[in-house]
Structure 1
């Protein structure tokens, strides 16, 4: 197993993780931090929308299956805001059927990843979708 490469501070990307499963959210946040990203974590959709506005991430890693406000609705709420139109939003979910992927696209997600996540796949996707931080 190779050691994650720590990026220089000027290459850090701001990423928001929204997941009602605290362990999953915290673990993903830690992995993203170890690969040189600046990360904030929220545990429900409404807090996530507020955090997206104040934190101004370049990407949001968003769980779909959350109580109260699910990931589809959270994504729509972010996209409705002027500041949310250009954010890369990636669905993180246990739902991997074609209908689920289509619903993600219709809700405004840029990509759809099925749990459990594999760090190399996630890192590659982020490198493709996100510009380097200035």
Structure 2
């Protein structure tokens, strides 16, 4: 499902998982590029989200215990533990069936869809697109 009618939105949500919370939404931003993770996290904080930047797949997995996120923006191309392995590990070991995981990558959406196991990711946001696209996506999947 395209989250808005604009082809430039570059955000897609492709399953039924939504975020249900009466509290400030907690979002983990995972990217091995520290500047990207910090900038996206800061932009989300300005939009009213509680945001935590982390810089590896291992840190993303640990963040599920310490930060208890509602959503995760997960880069795909990371060393040691890429986004596919990270999402799979979180789903398998953390019991995070309610966690919304969005692939946040410069890779094409089609590549992510082809490589991801069913249920690993809930959607896709194109890295480099305006942060408003990510905010719109999070708002549209929040109940």
Band of TM-score, shorter chain: 0.7 to 0.9
Say whether residues 1:80 and 2:92 are aligned partners.
yes
Q: What are structure 1's unaligned runs of at least 5 residues?
A: 1-9
Which digits, 9 at most, give the CA deviation of each residue in 1:42-66, with x for residues without a partner?
Answer: 1000111011122110001100000
Identify the residue that residue 25 of structure 1 maps to in structure 2.
37
Q: What are structure 2's unaligned runs of at least 5 residues?
A: 1-21
- Please list every run of at least 4 consecutive aligned residues from structure 1 whose deviation after the TM superposition is greater than 3 angstroms: 104-107
Contact 1:72 1:107 (8 Å CA) reproduced:
no
Matches within 5 A, 1:31-42: 31-42=43-54
Counterpart Cα distance in 2 of 1:121 and 1:97: 15
Number of aligned residue pairs: 122
Q: Larger RCO: Structure 1 or Structure 2 (Cα < 8 Å, ≥ 6 residues apart)?
A: 2
Identify the residue that residue 98 of structure 1 maps to in structure 2.
110
Name whichever structure is richer in helix by fraction: 1
What displacement does 1:82 show?
Answer: 4.7
Counterpart Cα distance in 2 of 1:87 and 1:102: 21
Counterpart Cα distance in 2 of 1:87 and 1:114: 19
SS of the residue corresponding to residue 40 of structure 2 reads helix
Matches within 5 A, 1:1-134: 12-104=24-116, 106=118, 108-131=120-143
Which digits, 9 at most, give the CA deviation of each residue in 1:21-51, with x for residues without a partner?
Answer: 0000000000000000011111000111011
Counterpart Cα distance in 2 of 1:40 and 1:89: 14
With structure 1 as the length reference, what TM-score do the two structures score? 0.83
